[in-house]
């Protein structure tokens, strides 16, 4: 059975409640789907993606259009407190991914703060996925054995990393078709984490810049180029097993999990917009409109490395240039206002999953940092690395096998 079929896709119709009323269902409350502002929702928004499975959702499951990524610092060194938080987070994640309100709901006992903050009432599941990872400092703080595969990334030339947008003990990646659903999920986790963890940095993203769904139209990044053409497809189980999922080489709790690299990459888009089309295309080694590799005519034509400029992004990052190094990309665009100097603070929030950092992000970024002609137009300003455990089974919680 494929991972996708294991991850039961529930339709909104199956979750909707008759009469438009909010009624109790199991441990949670179903959010009304009837009142959802459908015009602003992307196709597939009324679907939910199952939380439980052998891998965490949000890695190889279809990419949603919106992101809220949050990195937390622990405010305790007590394993007990962290276990309690992860249990509460897991229970809430199960409810939120099924379009249910957290705990006793947004309108529970009158004299206590509600269990759910309420801004997702009336919104469908929006294919919400929540994915958790543990940074190197998580293991140091809790005196737990760090998996061999998890290491701090080396410094790369031209990195200008802001500590306030880097690192963190625990990360949560929330992806959904509706930004309000993703933000609601993170906000409720922040609220539940009070006393055990506090938010260190976070990033909103839009317009997925890569797809894991073959045959879907490849999305474009803020430079106007199709991004994700040569990504690993969610249906390619062989590639996922080889390059994304940790196997027997990792500790038991990491099997079926993956290592995540997050990089906030600022784009100097004003300079880019004054660059000729020819130079833009030479930088990637692909055409802008079609996305075809140089030497080909269609987007999915095979990449013939010798036809691409020697320092072009695609030639340098291609697995054949790097002894097979391969990653699963899952990034999003961002624009966070302007920088006071007449420029947009815009770019790519790059997310990459891999089985082994040394056969994934590290060698690729080493090659790109040294030679990529794209470097004139970008700067890495934030960074994080996290070990994302394998999937959660019903009744268990995030990190159970590590912390129990
Ligand atoms: C270290 C890994 C990578 C970083 C960082 C990165 C940044 C980055 N990429 C683009 C735009 C494109 N990238 C494309 C391909 C591509 N990029 C990487 C890796 C990193 N990119 C890989 C492994 C590949 C695939 C190479 C291949 O197998 O052919 C493309 C081409 C289309 C595609 O295949 O996705 C574009 C466009 C930007 C703008 C950027 C930083 C801001
Ligand atoms: Fe790239």
The reported pLDDT for the residue numbered 17 is 23
Beta-ladder partners of 380 = 265
Mutate to test the pocket of ligand 1, among 314, 315, 316, 318 (most ligand atoms within 8 A of CB): 314
pLDDT in tens, 98-127: 999 999 999 988 999 999 999 999 999 999
Chain Cα centroid distance, residue 75: 24
Report the separation in Å between the CA atom of 313 and the middle of ligand 1, taken as the mean of its atom positions: 7
User: pLDDT digits over 184-225, tens only?
Assistant: 999 999 999 999 999 999 999 998 777 777 778 899 999 999
pLDDT at 29: 56
**61's tokens:** 């499951």
Cβ neighbours of residue 340 under 8 Å, at least 6 residues apart?
none
Sign of the alpha-carbon torsion through 33, 38, 40, 43: positive
Output the CA 348–ligand 2 centroid distance in Å.
10
Planar angle of CA 84, 136, 206, nearest 5 degrees: 80
Query: Please, which pLDDT band fits residue 226 given cuts at 50, 70 and 90?
Result: very high
**Mean pLDDT over the full length of the chain:** 90
**221 CA from centroid of ligand 1 (Å):** 10
Which ligand has its closest atom nearest to the C-alpha of 230? Answer: 1
- Of all ligands present, the nearest one to the C-alpha of 315 is 1
CB 201 within 8 A of CB 165: yes
Distance CA 56, CA 47 (A): 17
Nearest-atom number in ligand 1 for the CA of 222 is 39
- Please list the helix, strand and coil fractions of the chain in percent, rounded to the nearest 5, in that order: 30, 20, 50
Please tell me the predicted confidence (pLDDT) of residue 69: 98
3-state secondary structure of 363: helix
- Higher local confidence (pLDDT), 30 or 27: 30
Ligand 1 atom 28, closest CA: 318
**Are residues 94 and 87 in contact, defined by beta-carbon separation less than 8 angstroms?**
no
pLDDT score recorded for residue 246? 98
CA 217 – ligand 1 centroid, Å: 17
Q: Which ligand sits nearest to residue 333's alpha carbon?
A: 1
Q: Tell me how far the alpha carbon of residue 83 lies from the centroid of ligand 1, in angstroms.
A: 37
Q: Tell me how far CA of residue 108 lies from CA of 63, 94, 194, in angstroms.
A: 34, 19, 20
% pLDDT > 90, the chain: 84
Instruction: Identify which of 9, 133, 16, 124 has the alpha carbon closest to the alpha carbon of residue 62.
Output: 9
Lowest-pLDDT choice from 12-26, 41-55, 344-358: 12-26
What is the CB < 6 Å shell around ligand 1?
221, 223, 225-231, 263, 265, 267, 284, 286, 303, 313-314, 317-319, 327, 347-348, 350, 361, 364-365, 368, 378
CA distance 122 to 266: 35
Alpha-carbon span 82 to 190, nearest angstrom:
13
CA 250/CA 152 separation, integer angstroms: 17
- 359: Cβ–Cβ under 8 A, 6 or more apart, which residues? 243, 324, 325, 326
Burial of 251 (0-12, 13-18, 19+ CB in 10 A): middle
Residue owning the nearest CA to atom 5 of ligand 1: 365
pLDDT number for residue 46? 84
Radius of gyration of the chain (CA): 21
Residue 314 Cα to ligand 1 middle (Å):
6
Q: Where are the domains of the chain?
A: 3-403
**Phi and psi for 189 in degrees, rounded to 5?**
-70, -35
- The backbone region for 101, taken as left when phi is positive above 0, alpha when psi lies in -120 to 50, beta otherwise, is beta
Residue 25 has pLDDT above 50, yes or no: no
Q: How far is the CA of 313 from the centre of ligand 2 (A)?
A: 7
Closest Cα to atom 36, ligand 1: which residue? 227
Q: Give CA separation, 41 vs 19, 33, 38, 57, 175, in Å.
A: 22, 12, 5, 21, 14
Q: Where are the alpha helices (DSSP H) in 318-382?
A: 361-371
* pLDDT score, position 36: 37
- Quote the tokens at residue 112: 């206590």
Range 350-379 burial, b when 16+ CB lie within 10 A, else e: bbbbbbbbebbbbbbbbbbbeebbbbebbb
Whole-prediction pTM value?
A: 0.91
| Ligand 1, atom 20: closest residue by C-alpha | 317
pLDDT digits (tens, 9 = 90+) for 131-189: 999 999 999 999 999 999 999 999 999 999 999 999 999 999 999 999 999 999 999 99
- Residue 5: which H helix or E strand, with range? helix 3-6
Residue 14, pLDDT > 80, answer: no
Cβ-contact 227, 211 below 8 angstroms: no
Sequence length of the chain is 404
């Amino acid at each position: 059975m494929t991972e996708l079929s294991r991850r039961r896709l529930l339709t909104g119709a199956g979750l909707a409640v008759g009469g438009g009323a909010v009624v109790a269902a199991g441990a949670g409350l179903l959010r009304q789907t009837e009142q959802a502002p459908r015009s602003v929702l992307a196709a597939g928004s009324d679907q939910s993606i199952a939380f439980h499975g052998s891998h965490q959702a949000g890695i190889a499951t279809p990419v949603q259009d919106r992101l809220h990524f949050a990195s937390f610092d622990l405010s305790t060194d007590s394993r007990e407190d962290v276990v309690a938080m992860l249990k509460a987070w897991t229970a809430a994640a199960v409810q939120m991914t099924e379009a249910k309100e957290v705990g006793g709901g947004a309108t529970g006992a009158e004299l206590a703060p509600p269990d759910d903050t309420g801004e997702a009432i009336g919104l469908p599941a929006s294919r919400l996925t929540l994915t958790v990872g543990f940074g190197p400092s998580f293991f140091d703080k809790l005196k737990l054995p760090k998996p061999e595969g998890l290491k701090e990334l080396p410094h790369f030339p031209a990195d200008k990393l802001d500590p306030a947008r880097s690192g963190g003990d625990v990360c949560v990646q929330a992806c959904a078709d509706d930004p309000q659903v993703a933000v609601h999920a993170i906000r409720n986790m922040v609220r539940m984490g009070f006393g055990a963890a506090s938010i260190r940095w976070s990033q909103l993203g839009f317009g997925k810049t890569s797809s894991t769904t073959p045959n879907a139209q490849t999305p474009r990044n803020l430079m106007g180029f199709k991004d994700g053409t040569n990504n690993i497809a969610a249906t390619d189980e062989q590639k996922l097993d080889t390059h994304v999922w940790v196997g027997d080489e990792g500790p038991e709790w990491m099997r079926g999990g993956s290592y995540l690299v997050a990089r906030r990459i600022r784009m100097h888009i004003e300079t880019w917009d004054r660059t000729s089309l020819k130079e833009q295309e030479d930088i990637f080694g692909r055409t802008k409109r079609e996305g075809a590799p140089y030497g080909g005519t269609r987007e999915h034509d095979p990449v013939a490395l010798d036809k691409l400029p020697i320092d072009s992004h695609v030639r340098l990052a291609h697995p054949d240039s790097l002894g097979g190094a391969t990653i699963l990309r899952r990034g999003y665009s961002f624009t966070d206002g302007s920088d006071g100097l007449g420029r947009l603070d815009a770019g790519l929030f790059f997310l990459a999953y891999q089985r082994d950092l040394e056969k994934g992000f590290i060698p690729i970024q080493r090659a790109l940092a040294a030679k990529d002609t794209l470097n004139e137009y970008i700067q890495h300003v934030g960074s994080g690395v996290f070990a994302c455990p394998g999937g959660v089974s019903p009744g268990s919680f995030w990190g159970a096998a590590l912390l129990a």
